[in-house]
Amino acid sequence: MLQRLSAVQSWTDLKRALESQFGPSPFDFPMSELFKLQQTGTIFDYYMKFMSLANRSIGLPDEALLKCFLSGLHAEIRRDVIVQTPTSLIRAVALAKLYEERYSPTIKSDSTPVRRYSPVYSASFNTSQQQSKPVVKAYLPPLLPKPSIPPLANSQVKKISPAEMQLRREKGLFFFFDDKFTFNHKCPNRQYLFLNLEEDSVDSNIDPPPDIDQPVINTEIGIDDHHLSLNALKGGIGVGTIRFLANIDKLPVTVLIDGGSFDNFLQPRLAKFLKLPIEPAPMFKVMVGNGNYMTAEGLIQQLIIQAQGNLFQMPVYLLPISGADLILGASWLKTIDPHVANYESLHLKFLYNGKFVTLQGDVDHVPRQAHLHHIRRMVNTNSIAEVYSMKMVDPIMPSFTSLELLPDIEPEVDLLLTTYALVFSTPSKFPPPRAHGHSIPLMDGSAPVKVKPYRYPHSQKEEIEKLVAEMLHEGIIQPSKSPFSSPIILVKKKDGSWRVCTDYRALNAITIKDSFPIPTVDELIDELFGATIFSKLDLRSGYHQILLNPEDRYKNAFRTHHGHFEWLVMPFGLTNALATFQSLMNDIFHGLLRKFVLVFFDDILVYSSSLKDHLYHLEVVLQILQRQQLYARFSKCSFGVKEIDYLGHTLSGSGVAMDCNKLQAVKEWPRPINLKQLRGFLGLTGYYQRFVKGYAQIATPLTDLLKKYAFQWTVTADNAFQQLKEALTTAPVLAIPNFSVPFVLETDTSGSGVGAVLSQENHPIAYKKLSARMQNQSAYTREFYAITEALSKF
């Protein structure tokens, strides 16, 4: 046929023609199909498909094929096979076929017909001589009805009807002999299976699974001979387990019958408490269901228990289990054969000492109220693993009003803020203990601070009494008998209300200063490169959310005209309060700072490059605040905006500019008439000197007026005043530095000072006013001084 289609003139042509005619399609991916293959029928069907794909998947190691085969098995079979830890694919196939019979009702054969032969039971496993011996005739157990069709006497293979097979499954019996099926059993007439297949058969040299010895106690015990199921280890009630109460020397114990565990195990603490005779156990380990190993601590040859009016005696090993007090495994179940277990109604029926006994398991485990003597007994027997205390409390929800969101806010941000509305509520309870409590360390030999209270106008006395009463009601202050005493003053807020501030200048003078680093505004703003969307949160009563250490409360006491009190929370005015608060903020936002969060005391800035990222970043911050029970003032917050005012600057995707409110204040600043007003003006403009090129030269006539007895307002000073106001109100938007791009530093000097400009990609980053003390030096010295000073400043 190939010759007719095309001429075949060489071996290469013949090979290519055969591959084209009979080989696999070039669009076929057997390795991909192998990884996706799942068992949908019998193990034989699955194995044939698996080997067909595996033979065409070149390059896969044996370990990968083994894992791939195990991953495609039925969940029940896969779990049992993995527990046996097969080391080869052939062994995994053999184990899977043995476990297949346990779950055969749930596994159906594939629709694809596969030719196979019935298994032949052979006394020897010799492939060269496949002579099968007649199987000893096995009679049905008395617990089962006789089948309607008697078995053939001369048949080499014992056959049972489907009805009989299903009945044996329901009663938990073996198919070919009268014995109760257990997880690890020993067949009385063990025979190896030999599958004679027509083609592509399973390798006949499959190693049979190892025999499992009878549960006799001896000194030659291996790890594989003893195991404990996961149900027995953790106390779970799964299929094949029955739990009930029994007594050992009148002590109630929990008994778990578990066929998945091989031996009988008792809690060592019970044996020691009851002073049972403990014998040294052979050195062996018990493999538990989670893959670990436990070591037996001893042996009790004859343990007597009383359960539901019956006495039972069995040998037990001592093992520190947590699932129950006593585990009765397969070795005990074998001693009561034959038996019938109904795991749906949780009862076990068997013949014991000439009479039928039924052990009824506990159906429901409802927690019961414990009395004092119960708890005392559990403590004495070391039975308590964990203790939890619960009590009924009335839910206390902080009161908060509905959030008045702006109409142009993004819907996603609106939903997020509504979800975390609790963060913007008013605190209604005492702040929780935190890792950062405020302490007041004093210098050695310091005497108690005692300052007389100030005289207050009559109009303020009522306000002081009102505010003190409110703070007493909130629980943030308490009456004091401390030898310390500091005065208070009233400070008016922007909204016209009053705030109590304590004058701690005398206390601060003898307080050891905390050197915790306080962030600088310029360094914070330098982190915002690439940010285009911002949110700002202003914490509510931030200082009052930190507790004072109890041993330092008496030091912050204050006096009014009507009483002596002390703060329980951190008040305003203490020298180390800023360091304590910044330390708390750095701690709770650890890992987020300089990534998408900036914190300057109680001002929190969240910045992102996109709205999607910003929603995630903002939710993380709100979660932290809610978990830490820190509250924000919603009226002072901004969310999801492209331009925001933060720390006196206006931030946007274009860069950083002066705050518009501060610009307006500069425009409306009247001409100074004394040194105090001049210092105020220079202090405001000096804060923004980085925005003004040549600030030092412009402000020189004004700074000269600060000298002693030199304040004389002249035309030169007035021109400098107006020129400085004009320079500030027209200041450029400075770019936020990108530290992955080189910087350009430009310096210059004049007769009255030196200056420098830091720029990047022709966009100024900052202007910096430098010292003017080098006026009498040469031009070269001043130029070099400008460079060194600029490098040290920037």
Residue 155 to residues 134, 137, 341, 617, Cα–Cα distance (Å): 7, 9, 33, 76
Residue of 544, 660, 649, 662 whose CA lies nearest to 605: 649
Give the Cα separation of 298 and 282 in Å (integer).
Answer: 8
Dihedral sign, CA of 204, 209, 210, 213? negative
Gap between the Cα atoms of 440 and 551, Å rounded: 9
Give the sign of the dihedral formed by CA 658, CA 521, CA 538, CA 504. negative
Please give the Cα distance from 191 to 121 (Å, whole number): 6
Please state, in angstroms and as integers, the Cα–Cα distance from residue 19 to each residue in 2, 16, 28, 29, 246, following that order: 11, 5, 14, 16, 73
Distance CA 340, CA 359 (A): 11
Question: In terms of Cα–Cα distance, which of 47, 94, 42 is closest to 68?
Answer: 47
> DSSP letter at 380?
H
Q: Beta partners for 754? A: 749
558 C-beta neighbours (distance < 10 Å), count: 28
Number of H helices, E strands in the chain: 23, 29
* Known active-site residue 110: no
Strands 285-288 and 227-228, by their bridges, are parallel
The string of DSSP codes covering 742-791 is: --EEEEEE-SS-EEEEEEETTEEEEEEE---TTTTS-HHHHHHHHHHHHH
Residue 70 token pair: 């195990």
Tokens 């629980």 identify what position? Answer: 475
Tokens representing 462 are: 């009522």
As given in the structure block, the two tokens for residue 665 are 């204040």
**Would you state the structure tokens that stand for residue 483, as one six-digit string?**
């030898």
Three-state SS string over 163-220 comes to: HHHHHHHHHCECCCCCCECCCCCCCCCCCEEECCCCCCCCCCCCCCCCCCCCCCCCCC
Q: Which of 80, 225, 258, 602 is catalytic?
A: 258
DSSP track, 137-163: P-PPPTTSPPPSSPPPSS-SS----HH
Round to whole Å and give the CA distance between 368 and 366.
6
> Dihedral through CA 236, CA 182, CA 180, CA 146, nearest 10?
100
Which residues are annotated as catalytic? 258
